[in-house]
Homo-oligomer: A and B are copies of this chain.
Amino acid sequence: MYKYVLKIKCSDAKGLIYKISNVLYKNDLNIEKNSEYVDNENRKFFFRARLDGTIDTDKIKDELQLEMPKDAKITLTKKVKKQIVVLATRESHCLGDILLKHDSDELNADVLCVVSNHDELRPLCERFGIKYHFIASDNLKRVEHEEKVLEVLGNYKIDFIILAKYMRILSKNFVSEYKQKIVNIHHSFLPAFVGANPYKQAYKRGVKIIGATAHFVNNNLDEGPIIAQDVIGVNHEQSWRDMQKAGKNVEKTVLSNALDLVFNDRIFVHQNKTIIF
């Protein structure tokens, strides 16, 4: 089983694979799997390899940096569990799925705590022995509430923040504090039905499929880089509440699939899109 993940993003040029594999070969590293992609339109090169063996990561990175184009961004990270905080509101299905997988050690992450603007989910978290921070938003301006949330988050060393049906829009300031570290699950197949009440929108439009989208959060509502999507069929007999109920299994599965990719360092973000190896 691999112990390190090497990721390289740089301008495309001839011989990059040769140069990378040369460095790895000379250092006697075992490459379990490598993947590469060239964005021909933007002349960008993306590379990921899973490495085994005992590694002097600084040495390898230095040697690679010398061989790669000057704009190369190289990361060589040990495979460790990510440290995550989950934000949620009232719905339990996505949070519950995360807690279950965490409990059975299938998540590849440690859940540090759960933060919510409501108190309903406290018993669920306590069942699993997870610290619960209830930060009410009543009578608070968005920025005031966010400051309180940020203060709590400041107490943790966080790799990723998971919005597991967190029903509040994050400000630019909040997002910039955790750039490309926030994963959201949106209850529609984006870009259809951005914003509030996508199931009502879907019902009103009379679509025959509904879906869910997991994406990184950026400054524009529901417009961040998409990680995973899926859909299920619906029909005229289903009210928007029926759709909402049917959508829950899709939401949690899509989020679960996205978290697997995120927590295993399988994603590059480039020009508001994800490249997934």
CB within 8 Å of B: which residues of A? 14-15, 17-18, 21-22, 24-25, 28, 30-34, 36-38, 41, 92-93, 96-97, 100, 103-104, 106, 124, 127-128, 189-193, 205-209, 211, 225-231, 233, 235-237, 239, 245, 248-249, 253, 256-257, 272-276
B31–A17 CB distance below 8 A: yes
Interface contact A18-B14, CB-CB below 8 Å: no
- Residues of chain B within 8 A (CB-CB) of A100 are 92-93, 96-97, 100
CA distance A15 to B22 in the complex (A): 8
**Taking the full assembly, how many copies of this chain does it contain?**
4
Q: How far is the CA of A32 from the CA of B18 in the complex (A)?
A: 14
Q: Which of A28, A209, A248, A274 has the most CB of B within 10 A?
A: A209
**Contact present for B189 and A191 (CB under 8 Å):** no
Q: Chain B residues near A208 (CB, 8 Å)?
A: 226-229
Q: How far is the CB of A28 from the nearest CB of chain B, in Å?
A: 8
Please name the residue on chain B nearest to A104 by beta carbon.
B92
